[in-house]
Amino acid sequence: MPAGPRQECHGLDRTGVEVAGLDLDARERGIELVELGGSRDALAGMDAEQSVRHRVQERGLVLVVSSLEVRGSEPNRPGALEVRSLAGAGGLVLAQRHRDVTPIDPDDPTRDFRAPSLGHVERDAVTLDLRAGTGRPARRQEREERHARGDSHALDTSRADTEVPKYPPTMRGAIAAGHRLTAEAGARLLEEGGNAVDACLAAAFVSWVAESPLTGPGGGGFLLVHDAHDGRSRLLDFFVTVPGEGLRRGTVGQMETVDVDFDDTIQAFRIGAASVAVPGTVAGLDLAHRKFGSVPWPKLFEPAIELARSGFELTREQAYLHAILDIILRHTEEGRVIYGRDGERLAAGDRVEMADLAETLETLAAGRGAAFYQGPLARAVSDHVRAHGGTLTREDMAAYRPIWRRPIQVEFAKHHVVSNPPPSSGGVLIAYGLRLLDSAGLGGPPGSAEAIARLVEVMGEQETARGPRFQRELFRGGLAQRLCDEQQVSAAAGRLLTGTTHISAVDARGNAASLTATTGSGSGCVVPGTGVHLNNMLGEFDLTRTTRRPGGRLTSGMAPSVALQDGRPRLVVGSAGSLRLRGAILQTIVNVIGHGLTVEEAIDAPRVHVEDGHVHLEGGTDAAAADDLERRGYDVVPWRRRNLYFGGAAAVGLLPDGTLHAAGDPRRGGHGIVVGA
């Protein structure tokens, strides 16, 4: 394409090619630039200004083709962009505000590669230097050769011991998950030489079967990967987006509100087809495999397919979960076929078989992620939702894309903790809490009234941080910097002194993967003939505080996290648990890193949760400590026993002697396995 006239978009609040609505789009969607589809030749002759304007008007997104360059302008105005013609750049550019910038291979848009000169778009932005000849970076040839050998983009598991953490020679890694079958699937991959991401993916596919009330292809999530070779941590965001592409603006369906009884408290959920957001899990796991996987994609599905066909016995912990979610699981006839027996809900010891889901898994194994977002399966999903009053369209499915983000980072107790960045809220609030505890101290020994009081005060400061500015700043940028600013932390520390599943894995070479995925409480909407139970994310009160346009990403409290010590994964952790998962992760990190507990002890320890001024103390909390807290004036709500209401953590930890240990949460039948121990 010949070089065209220079076109500038210095402001984000103007119209036409000046990118009308882009500022709002960046805030709400977290995306500024996407590939339109097609190669440089196919777009030759297209007027660049028209293409940008068309993309803004049609989808609220901005197109940058091979002849365009994006660079930061007006450094004092964060996010200001300049779009100009540039000949011979080659390839498309996918960027997102304040996050990683990734060039896309025009011959295969599903595969990404990084040009050597690429940096990150920060608050003041950087220049993307894609001058002629850099569209095919030098590293691409190496990666193509690795792809030909079948290990393209894979985490390296074969380097010399001097380059990676030294574990005992028999150890092949460790994995922890929400179910024994889930953990065993990942452990087999580690034992066979797969890397941490391979293990997470195989485990995730099994979790769709063994933990189907909480997760599945109809949900969304996040994957945090720490690469032992280059020392970098990367966060893949495949959370759900707002549906409604192609529908009249303002089209919404009617949700149904149901109450879920956790024994000592009741929580309301909104379900039904109208609560279904655009699923991202399949696309995210596909992209994770393309970038980091070393085991063939179909092989990763084999344990899940076998389990779905042969079935498994429901455990006591899973039966309890089925009981409290029964009103959702058996909401429709399709759900009753899977989760009922002779008109009754499933009980411990009953066998669960999922033949329809097995066929869907086989379809995905053969057709990868594209099979879920295009073709018969995508039509079945969207048509079923639309027929029952939802807004998920075929256009929504086809348009979905995962996003690579730069993790948030914070120091705590001489460890480097990385977690999920904005626009998700969980990671930044955990980082804020850890900074407060690092500054103010832990208060006392684990389980003591002093330590619990300190956690309660930190949780109170986290809630205070979620003020009127918080939701807006999640999408505009700068929130993490503001919260973790020394002055902010010092002031807050001074005041102190007065449904989901998670998989954590570490492989033999020190690579770590932390994956959290969810369908929420589930919408009760099971797509006929597929076994796919769709999410209810539009019905999650905590995720939908603002009105969003179609394609906009919802925020999330999920926060897969890794704590590093001297560059080595010291702790890999995440949790299920709706609003409580943030507290479960924070307390696990504090217990392991701050108090020196093992991951088993840390996860098993009674937890505290603060909500609406009430201090919920989990069963097992020391009675004297509870009495002391009441004397201090706290409104204490004691629980009779441990409960999955307080989250379902899964963690892998590294002991001082170099050995690995792993634990799943006993509150929900979690399981940890050290391979080769």
pLDDT tens string 459-502: 888 887 776 666 666 666 666 666 666 666 555 555 554 467 89
Residue 504, helix vs strand vs coil = strand
Q: In the prediction, which pLDDT does 501 show?
A: 85
Scored b (16 or more CB within 10 A) or e, 539-563 reads: bbeebbeeebbbbbbbbbbbbbbbb
Query: Out of 500, 516, 555, 621, which one is annotated catalytic?
Result: 500
pLDDT tens string 132-148: 223 333 333 444 344 43
What is the extent of the structural domain holding 453? 404-503+560-675
Domains identified in the chain, total number: 3
346 and 441 belong to one structural domain: no
Q: Is residue 229 part of a domain?
A: no
Q: Is residue 246 part of a domain?
A: yes
- What's the CA gap between 623 and 616, in Å, rounded? 13
392 and 408 belong to one structural domain: no
- What's the CA gap between 535 and 213, in Å, rounded? 10
Given a cut of 60, is residue 656 above it in pLDDT? yes
Q: Is residue 372 part of a domain?
A: yes
387 and 419 belong to one structural domain: no
DSSP element (H, E) containing 270 = strand 266-271
- The residue ranking higher by pLDDT, 158 or 255, is 255
Cα dihedral 630, 632, 633, 635, rounded to 10, equals -40
21 and 93 belong to one structural domain: yes
Q: How many CB atoms lie within 10 A of CB 363?
A: 17
**379: its two tokens:** 């039509």
Q: Determine the length of the chain.
A: 677
Please report the sign of the dihedral spanned by the C-alpha atoms of residue 238, residue 400, residue 212, residue 547. positive
444 and 488 belong to one structural domain: yes
373 and 456 belong to one structural domain: no
184 and 290 belong to one structural domain: yes
- The residue ranking higher by pLDDT, 645 or 41, is 645
**Residue 554 banded pLDDT, cuts 50, 70, 90:** confident
| Euclidean distance between the first and the last CA atom of the chain, given in angstroms as a whole number | 59
Mean pLDDT rounded to a whole number for the chain:
75
Strands (E) in 451-579, as ranges, are 501-507, 512-518, 526-527, 532-533, 561-565, 568-576
**282: its two tokens:** 């399949």
Given a cut of 70, is residue 291 above it in pLDDT? yes
CB 390 within 8 A of CB 242: no
**Of the residues 147, 168, 193, the one at which a domain ends:** 147
User: Residue 464's domain is classified under what CATH number?
Assistant: 3.60.20
396 and 462 belong to one structural domain: no
Q: In the prediction, which pLDDT does 612 show?
A: 82
Residue 624, helix vs strand vs coil = helix
464 catalytic? Reply is no
Given a cut of 50, is residue 657 above it in pLDDT? yes
320 and 283 belong to one structural domain: yes
Q: Is residue 152 part of a domain?
A: no
- What's the CA gap between 174 and 187, in Å, rounded? 7
Return all residues near 591 (Cβ < 8 A) that are at least 6 apart.
Answer: 446, 597, 601, 602, 605
317 and 422 belong to one structural domain: no
Least confident of 66-75, 203-212, 229-238: 66-75
Q: In the prediction, which pLDDT does 487 show?
A: 61
Q: Is residue 627 part of a domain?
A: yes
343 and 482 belong to one structural domain: no
What CA–CA distances, in Å, run from 261 to 51, 278, 416, 538? 52, 28, 38, 21
Closest CA to 292 of 189, 378, 214: 189
Biggest CA pair distance of the chain: 77
398 and 532 belong to one structural domain: yes
The amino acid occupying position 556 is S
Q: Is residue 474 part of a domain?
A: yes
Q: Is residue 308 part of a domain?
A: yes
Given a cut of 70, is residue 432 above it in pLDDT? yes
CB 500 within 8 A of CB 558: yes
Q: Is residue 154 part of a domain?
A: no
pLDDT tens string 77-136: 333 333 332 222 233 333 323 233 333 333 333 333 222 222 222 222 222 222 222 333
